[in-house]
Amino acid sequence: MLSYADERTEFINICQRAFSLGMQLSTGGNVSLKLEDNVYLVKPSGISLFDLEAQQLLLTDKTGRVISGQGNPTKEFTSHAAIYGTRADIRAIVHYHPAYATAFAVHNLTIPLLTVHARRILKSLPLVPPGPEGGPQLAGLLKEMFAVQEVRGAVMSEHGIIATGKDLKDAQNVAELIEESARIALLSSFLPSG
């Protein structure tokens, strides 16, 4: 039986961190990790990041078919699979609805990268047009965005954010930087321009 105990522990740590930072509340958001060419560790649908336990994580193939575990994978796995299929360097994906970044998303606005740090790490942060959750249209839009090698994260119109990385910590750091950038952009809009 495939256990991937270390990867499961790291997965839960990332979910706990995301919840503790307010990146995602309730049962929304999703996380996945590419383990092998056709094996993924995936958050099941309907369980909050805070309540999630290692034994509840699902192993799926690239179509989202459950190999091991009980329950259904996130309905967004179609989008995750499209991104994984586009970029070999991406091994982890997190998708959240953090308040500041999602405020930009619901207004269909890009998040300006105002700090040197954000511009250096994120380089660009595209705005993905709206598409039905978990559907092929959204998966296609994300595939197109992430076909650009420098793209590490994106704002999903009317939805939230998606961030990628070489591992879960890397993807989580990208997500946190996107949310920080949104917060800085919003707060700086109240200050007089210099």
C-alpha to C-alpha distance for 70 and 68, rounded to whole angstroms:
7
Residue 133 CA to residue 33 CA, distance in Å, equals 20
- Pairing type for strands 58-60 and 160-165 reads unpaired
The DSSP output letter for 49 is T
In 3-state terms, what secondary structure has residue 54?
helix
Q: Where do we find the tokens 């994300």?
A: 142
Q: In sequence order, what are the residues at sequence separation of 6 or more whose Cβ sits closer than 8 angstroms to the Cβ of residue 29?
A: 18, 23, 43, 49, 94, 95, 96, 97, 160
Q: Domains of the chain by range and CATH?
A: 5-188 (3.40.225.10)
pLDDT tens track, the chain, 194 positions: 467 999 999 999 999 999 999 999 888 899 999 999 899 999 999 999 999 999 999 999 999 999 999 999 988 999 999 999 999 999 999 999 999 999 999 999 999 999 999 999 999 999 999 888 878 899 999 999 999 999 999 999 999 999 999 999 999 999 999 999 999 999 998 888 76
Provide CB contacts within 8 A for 107, sequence distance 6+: none
The pTM of the full predicted model, rounded to 2 decimals, is 0.94
Rounded to whole angstroms, the Cα distance separating 151 from 37 reads 22
Taking residue 117's Cβ as centre, other Cβ atoms within 10 Å add up to 13
Closest by CA to 81, choosing from 65, 58, 98, 101, is: 65
